[in-house]
Amino acid sequence: MSAPTTVAPPPARPELVRVAIEDDATPLVRQLGRTLGEAIRSGHAHDELSRAGGTVAVRSHDTPQAATITLGATIEVRGGVLAEPDATVVVDLHGRFAPTEEPSGDAVLAAGVLHALRPPLPPWREAAARFWQETRPIPGIPDVLVVHVLGPDGPEEGRFGEGATTYELTGPADLLAGVFTGADDFLAALDAGVQVKGTLSQLSVMTAASWKARFDV
């Protein structure tokens, strides 16, 4: 009997873990919860997030922001670091959770959480479509989102929605995908190459939309 030459289908995905954040959560807790939730939904870092236990402190490298992730059947995210964690990671919250120093404690646990917090971004067009869809309920949100992308293969454009009011965003594909998914901060992105065309009021509303994407508020 020869060895099979076809690739076996992947095993059925075991029961997914879920993410729970505390009530009245801080922006960092919300950001972590959203990112981990996305990682679970996309299947990113499934093994790392399925660990039976372990606590990881996540600290900002330049502000007092801190939170604790507790792995388990439910991944819990709470503000602050109230007990000695199994591992600590210090990250750049404006750099998509990039570590700024060597993690301390359980190196495997820390590496797993860092990996989970840095899922690959979807293509900008997919991210923009989802952003547009999910921000419809925000009062004052423009009807149409026009995206001009300065990509390596030349300019691209996307238009999402129909209606009388329009907002335009221009910038590098990766940065725009970061803004649309919440991986990047919108107002910080304005200093990093994203340009906008719209009213001041629309900028204000787009800020709210970006918070929805980044913090789910």
Give burial (CB, 10 Å; 0-12/13-18/19+) of 54: buried
Q: Can you name the residues that pair with 150 across neighbouring β-strands?
A: 155, 172
Q: Kindly state whether residue 207 participates in binding other proteins, applying the rule CB under 8 A.
A: yes
Q: Footprint of other proteins on residues 170-189 (CB under 8 A)?
A: 187
- 130 — alpha (psi -120 to 50), left (phi > 0) or beta? alpha
Q: Kindly state whether residue 67 participates in binding other proteins, applying the rule CB under 8 A.
A: no
Q: Which is nearer to other proteins, 108 or 203 (CB)?
A: 203
Question: Tokens standing for 172?
Answer: 């590098």
Q: Which is nearer to other proteins, 38 or 185 (CB)?
A: 185
> x-or-dash pattern for other proteins, window 82-101, by CB under 8 A?
-----------x--------
How open is the CA angle 153-156-157, to the nearest 5 degrees? 175
Q: Kindly state whether residue 161 participates in binding other proteins, applying the rule CB under 8 A.
A: no
Tally DSSP H helices, then E strands, for the chain.
7, 11
Count of residues that interact with other proteins, criterion CB under 8 A = 24
Stretch that binds other proteins, among 41-49, 51-59, 109-117, 207-215 (CB under 8 A): 207-215
Strands 154-160, 144-151: pairing is antiparallel
Q: Which is nearer to other proteins, 133 or 204 (CB)?
A: 204
Which is nearest to 22 in space by CA: 12, 33, 11? Answer: 33
Q: Kindly state whether residue 26 participates in binding other proteins, applying the rule CB under 8 A.
A: yes
Q: Which is nearer to other proteins, 79 or 112 (CB)?
A: 79
Q: If DSSP states are collapsed to H, E and C, what string results for 44-105? A: CCHHHHCCCCCEEEEEECCCCCEEEEECCCEEEEEECCCCCCCEEEEEECCCCCEECCCCEE
Q: Kindly state whether residue 201 participates in binding other proteins, applying the rule CB under 8 A.
A: yes
Q: Footprint of other proteins on residues 124-143 (CB under 8 A)?
A: 139-140
Distances (CA, A) of 55 to 47, 123, 200: 16, 32, 43
Q: Which is nearer to other proteins, 26 or 49 (CB)?
A: 26
Q: Kindly state whether residue 163 participates in binding other proteins, applying the rule CB under 8 A.
A: no
Contact with other proteins (CB under 8 A) among 42, 100, 195, 204: 204
Residues that bind other proteins (CB under 8 A): 24, 26-28, 63-66, 79-80, 93, 139-140, 187, 199-201, 203-205, 207-208, 211, 217
